């Protein structure tokens, strides 16, 4: 029963990580004057400040997601301890949420630290899959 619960929470963690790019897109576009839904990527290229940073965070979330999701699956298939796997998975999600917050609010140094911690968590998932 515990394994099913852990699997459910890990699926939920993957879902949240997968939705993070959409959250960034909403931050970048919400309430903007002159938003062009016919050509949103060109419009976003011309944004500055928090909108440009939210768009960059969106791109980074899209880049990080497959690495994380596959890491969770491989560690799970590799028989990693469920409690540890669950903890690492949620740690990544929390780091990504902090990363987005740091990016949008222009806290560049803290953003880099949080990014590195999240990336290390994903690397650890692959270590768990191997051992």
> What pTM does this model have?
0.91
Q: What confidence score (pLDDT) does residue 5 get?
A: 58
Q: What is the mean pLDDT of residues 102-120?
A: 98
**Rounded distance between C-alpha atoms, residue 37 and residue 88, angstroms:** 38
Tens of pLDDT, residues 39-70: 888 999 999 999 999 999 999 999 999 999 99
What distance in Å separates the CA atoms of residue 125 and residue 131, rounded to the nearest whole number?
A: 10
Cα–Cα dist 54/73, whole Å: 28
Decide if 80 contacts 128 (C-beta within 8 A).
yes
State whether residue 105 is helix, strand or coil: coil
pLDDT of residue 4: 60
């Amino acid at each position: 029963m515990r394994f099913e619960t852990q699997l459910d929470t890990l699926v939920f963690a993957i879902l949240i990580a997968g939705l993070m790019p959409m959250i960034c897109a909403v931050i970048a576009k919400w309430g903007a004057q002159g938003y062009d839904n016919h050509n949103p990527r060109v419009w976003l290229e011309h944004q500055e400040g928090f909108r440009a940073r939210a768009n960059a965070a969106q791109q980074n979330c899209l880049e990080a997601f497959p690495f994380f999701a596959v890491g969770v699956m491989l560690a799970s298939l590799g028989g990693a301890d469920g409690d540890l796997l669950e903890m690492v998975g949620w740690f990544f999600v929390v780091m990504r949420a902090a990363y987005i917050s740091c990016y949008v609010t222009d806290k560049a140094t803290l953003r880099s630290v949080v990014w590195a911690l999240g990336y290390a968590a994903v690397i650890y998932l692959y270590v768990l899959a191997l051992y």
